């Protein structure tokens, strides 16, 4: 059967990287973190890219990554929170795999990421209401892009991963 990638999308702090890491540790599923990949390629952090080149340049890098992503093995790719906002990115992900949206409430997100400092969009806006607002602006597009939606509030990585694997299998064709 055809091997397909799993693209984890969702708001910052929804659990994408944590879950991709867990799927690797527990099931040996290969994983790739888009932000980390871009940081390595560019030799600088996402925050530096935003500060030095602007957001549009970073968005171009995301699209270039997805267009050229051509691994033969099935990967779990954790995407930056802005990735689905570009329709071209959604088309690329659709072609190459299944899109899983991780969702958490703004208060959960806020509690998870309030002390972190590597997300330029939130650096001077780290409040629950800002998160809620940005999530509202993005939600319809996220939902539209998703093949599968899994909520992550008050759940551990085991529960979330099990649901992802069940739901992606139900969609068929994987591995
Ligand atoms: C962004 C999310 C970040 C990172 C960048 C922009 C966004 O990734 O790509 O700071 O627009 O939501 P995470 O979702 O992994 O935090």
pLDDT digits (tens, 9 = 90+) for 81-137: 999 999 999 999 999 999 999 999 999 999 999 999 999 999 999 999 999 999 999
Q: State which ligand 1 atom lies nearest to the alpha carbon of 16.
A: 15
pLDDT tens profile 151-174? 999 999 999 999 999 999 877 544
Ligand 1 atom at shortest distance from the alpha carbon of 35 = 9
Q: pLDDT tens digits for 82-94?
A: 999 999 999 999 9
Of 5, 1, 52, 7, nearest in space to 145 by CA: 7
Q: What is the mean pLDDT of residues 9-29?
A: 97
> Quick one: CA torsion of 47, 49, 50, 56, rounded to 10 degrees?
-150
Output the pLDDT for position 172. 54
d(CA 137, ligand 1 centre) in Å: 15
Closest atom of ligand 1 to 12 CA is: 14
Q: Tell me if 83 CB under 6 Å of ligand 1.
A: no
Note the pLDDT of residue 169. Answer: 87
The β-bridge partners of 75 are 30
């Amino acid at each position: 059967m055809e091997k397909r990638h799993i693209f984890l999308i969702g708001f910052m702090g929804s659990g994408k990287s944590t879950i991709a890491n867990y799927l690797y540790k527990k099931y040996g599923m290969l994983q790739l973190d888009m932000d980390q990949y871009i940081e390595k390629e560019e030799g600088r952090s996402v925050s530096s890219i935003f500060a030095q080149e602007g957001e549009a340049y970073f968005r171009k890098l995301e699209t270039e990554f997805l267009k050229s992503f051509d691994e033969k093995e099935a990967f779990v790719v954790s995407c930056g929170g802005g990735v689905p906002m570009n329709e071209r990115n959604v088309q690329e992900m659709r072609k190459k795999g299944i899109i899983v949206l991780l969702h958490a409430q703004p208060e959960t997100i806020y509690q998870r990421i309030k002390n972190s400092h590597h997300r330029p969009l939130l650096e001077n806006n780290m409040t629950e209401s800002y998160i809620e607002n940005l999530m509202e602006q993005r939600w319809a597009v996220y939902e539209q892009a998703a093949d599968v939606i899994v909520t992550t509030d008050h759940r551990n990585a085991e529960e979330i991963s099990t649901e992802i694997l069940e739901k992606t299998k139900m969609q068929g064709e994987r591995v």
